[in-house]
Structure formats: C-alpha cells, structure tokens
Amino acid sequence: MALKIETKNNINQIRIDGDLTIYEVADYLDTLKQTLMMDKTVELDLSGVEELDTSGLQLITAVCKQASGNGADIRFIAMSDEVDEAVHNSRLLHALGCEPKEAAS
C-alpha cells in the first residue's frame, strides 16, 4: 500500500498503489483531507490499485466531493481495471457530478 502526494504547478497529484480497502482507508483519510483543503486542481491516479472494496469506493467519492466543495477541479488521470469497473458499475461518482474524465494534455 502506498499513498503518494505531490504538488506541481498548482496541481495536487495523488497516486494510490496497492489495495484500497477498509484496512487502508483509515490510514489515508486524514492525509487526503489535509491535501484537499487547498483549492488546487487534483489529479487522481488510481492505476496502481489492485483491490477495491466499498470503503475504497467511499474514499474516492469523499475525495471527489471534498475537492469539488473546495472549488477544486478533479481529474482522474488513470484507473486500474478494478477501479474502473467499480466506479462505472456504481454510478456513484456520476450522481455526484464527478464523472471520471481524462486529464488535459
């Protein structure tokens, strides 16, 4: 499990590798909340997520909701097949107006 956050050109880049389950979410939550307090663009790279459960999906939703609430723009720049399937099947992010879209090139 790994959570990596970098800020480049006023963009918070968040990358999560490994599992994103109930066991990891608690470890990531406070760090992500602090990062999202800034109204910067957020790029979320979930290409390294190997396992995802409903807690992980809730964390992704919370990141999206908090970023949007702070006036930040959120971009999903990559998702593993596991994440892509869960996000699209749940339609939860769509309901929040936070549908994954490609990052600007």
CATH at 31: 3.30.750.24
Residues 6+ apart with CB under 8 A from 99: 93
Residue 1 is predicted with a pLDDT of 61
Residue 104 is predicted with a pLDDT of 46
- Each residue's pLDDT, cut to its tens digit, for the chain (105 residues) gives 699 999 888 888 999 999 999 999 988 988 888 888 776 788 889 999 999 999 999 898 888 888 878 888 888 889 999 998 888 888 876 766 666 655 444
Q: Supply the range of the domain harboring residue 25.
A: 2-95
Residue 95 is predicted with a pLDDT of 64
The number of folded domains in the chain is 1
In a domain, 104, yes or no: no
Residue 19 is predicted with a pLDDT of 94
Residue 35 is predicted with a pLDDT of 81
In a domain, 102, yes or no: no
